[in-house]
Amino acid sequence: MSELSGDKTHSGNARSEADRERSAAVEMQGYDLIGDIHGCASTLKLLLEKLGYRCIDGVYQHPLQRQVVFLGDIVDRGPRIREAVQIVYSMVKAGQAKIVMGNHEYNLLCYMTRAEYGEHPFLRERTPRHYRILKETLEQYENYPRELDALLAWIMEMPLYLEFDHFRVVHACWAEQLIEQLEDSYGVQHLTADMLQRSARHGTFEWTLLDRLLRGTHLRLPNNEEMISRDGFRRRFFRTKFWARQPQFYADVVFQPDPLPSHIARRALSVQDHDDLLYYGEEEKPLFIGHYWREGRPEPITDNIACLDYSAVKFGKLVAYRMDNESVLSADKFVWVDVHQEFRAQVAG
Ligand SMILES: [Mn+2]
């Protein structure tokens, strides 16, 4: 871990241990949830400052007892991935933040981990498509192999979900039954080496668990159709809502930036499709997710679900939600940095 600890403030020495215990003992005054960063370290610093955090001895911290919860997807795509990882890591290790794993952290881990069985040498096949998703991360860590190893070790420690007294956090989708099964069979909230190996095999419980929690629910396009997403990937599946109460048509469940072709949107959902969907009830605790490349003005999706991914790395917004004790989420508790505006201000300045 020492490679990620660029300074002395979070080296796990006796003093920082004591500090951590002390901060855990003080009652939290609230949580600031932050969506997908994707290497936008400069924007992250602006957002933390907007939320009242200050960088002291290399670690961002709040003057009151507030803590950040990061929703995952720190890596990939953006220009300052190592710096973003360092900021988040130092906060987590100092007890100033928590994090859940995103699908991009999981992909990176699988791409870099040797498979113990099966036909491919690594858990994530090294195809051009998979490389393209990880390209910026691999390039930016190219001359820092030990730092990359430390990041991979840290990803293994990241919980797949977090449950607080009054809210829940997961990168893409809260799948209650799978979470219960994980707790029953492994008794942990993070990956183990064994779980990681199994998760690479399609159809295992571990594969389904990682897929649902980190990538969400999706449906296959009918008749083997494909669509090309705006970012240029061929897709046979589309991302779906898990809060549609009684959906009847594909249009009722689609939840992604790319609209469905109209002949698909108006098709009725099949019995199989209904089986593949999940439903997070209105009476459940508030839930925070990232992952979905939202656009526009941030606001809750429902009274008890907020998505905080507003496409920061595509010149959208890096978004936070100031969570206190409310059970109904409110649009006025979102805080964000508009990346496009910041970029233009920098160019003009
Ligand atoms: Mn994601």
Q: How far is ligand 1, taken at its centre, from the CA of residue 315, in Å?
A: 16
Q: How far is ligand 1, taken at its centre, from the CA of residue 106, in Å?
A: 10
Q: List pLDDT tens digits, range 42-99.
A: 999 999 999 999 999 999 999 999 999 999 999 999 999 999 999 999 999 999 999 9
Please report, rounded to a whole number, the percentage of residues in the chain having pLDDT higher than 90.
85
Q: How far is ligand 1, taken at its centre, from the CA of residue 37, in Å?
A: 10
Task: Give the mean pLDDT of 156-174.
Answer: 98
Nearest to 95 by CA among 156, 166, 15: 15
Quote the mean pLDDT of the chain: 92
Q: How far is ligand 1, taken at its centre, from the CA of residue 303, in Å?
A: 22
Q: How far is ligand 1, taken at its centre, from the CA of residue 267, in Å?
A: 27
Q: How far is ligand 1, taken at its centre, from the CA of residue 105, in Å?
A: 9
Report whether 263 contacts 250 (CB < 8 A): no
CA distance 99 to 70: 5
Q: How far is ligand 1, taken at its centre, from the CA of residue 136, in Å?
A: 16
Q: List pLDDT tens digits, range 113-124.
A: 999 988 899 999
pLDDT of residue 5: 53
Q: How far is ligand 1, taken at its centre, from the CA of residue 16, in Å?
A: 32
Q: How far is ligand 1, taken at its centre, from the CA of residue 223, in Å?
A: 27
Pairing type for strands 161-163 and 287-289 reads: unpaired
Task: Give the mean pLDDT of 276-293.
Answer: 96
Q: Which residues pair with 288 in a beta bridge?
A: 169, 306
Q: How far is ligand 1, taken at its centre, from the CA of residue 291, in Å?
A: 4
Nearest to 195 by CA among 126, 133, 123, 131: 123
Q: How far is ligand 1, taken at its centre, from the CA of residue 289, in Å?
A: 9
Domain boundaries, the chain: 2-189+285-348
Q: List pLDDT tens digits, range 322-344.
A: 999 999 999 999 999 999 888 88
**pLDDT(229) > 60:** yes
Report whether 27 contacts 79 (CB < 8 A): no
Task: Using alpha carbons, list the distances in angstroms from residue 216 to 52, 155, 170, 174, 240.
Answer: 32, 19, 10, 8, 7
Task: Using alpha carbons, list the distances in angstroms from residue 115 to 124, 202, 303, 324.
Answer: 9, 14, 43, 43
Q: How far is ligand 1, taken at its centre, from the CA of residue 107, in Å?
A: 10
pLDDT of residue 17: 55
Q: What does the chain come to in residues? A: 349
Q: How far is ligand 1, taken at its centre, from the CA of residue 247, in Å?
A: 24
**Over the Cα atoms of the chain, what is R_g?**
20
Q: How far is ligand 1, taken at its centre, from the CA of residue 114, in Å?
A: 23
2-189+285-348 maps to which CATH number? 3.60.21.10
| DSSP assignment string, 268-304 | BPPHHHHHH-----TTSPPEEE--S---SS---SBTT
CA 217 to chain centre: 15
Q: How far is ligand 1, taken at its centre, from the CA of residue 348, in Å?
A: 32
Nearest to 41 by CA among 2, 89, 3: 89
Pairing type for strands 317-323 and 309-310 reads: antiparallel
Q: List pLDDT tens digits, range 287-330.
A: 999 999 999 999 999 999 999 999 999 999 999 999 999 999 99
Nearest to 133 by CA among 151, 100, 157, 111: 111
pLDDT of residue 57: 96
Q: How far is ligand 1, taken at its centre, from the CA of residue 249, in Å?
A: 25
Q: List pLDDT tens digits, range 4-39.
A: 754 444 444 445 555 555 555 456 789 999 999 999
Report whether 95 contacts 19 (CB < 8 A): yes
pLDDT of residue 9: 42
Q: How far is ligand 1, taken at its centre, from the CA of residue 160, in Å?
A: 13
What pTM does this model have?
0.91
CB neighbours of residue 303 within 10 Å? 13
Confidence of residue 249 (pLDDT cuts 50, 70, 90): very high
Instruction: Give the helix/strand (H/E) hosting 33.
Output: strand 30-34
Q: How far is ligand 1, taken at its centre, from the CA of residue 187, in Å?
A: 25
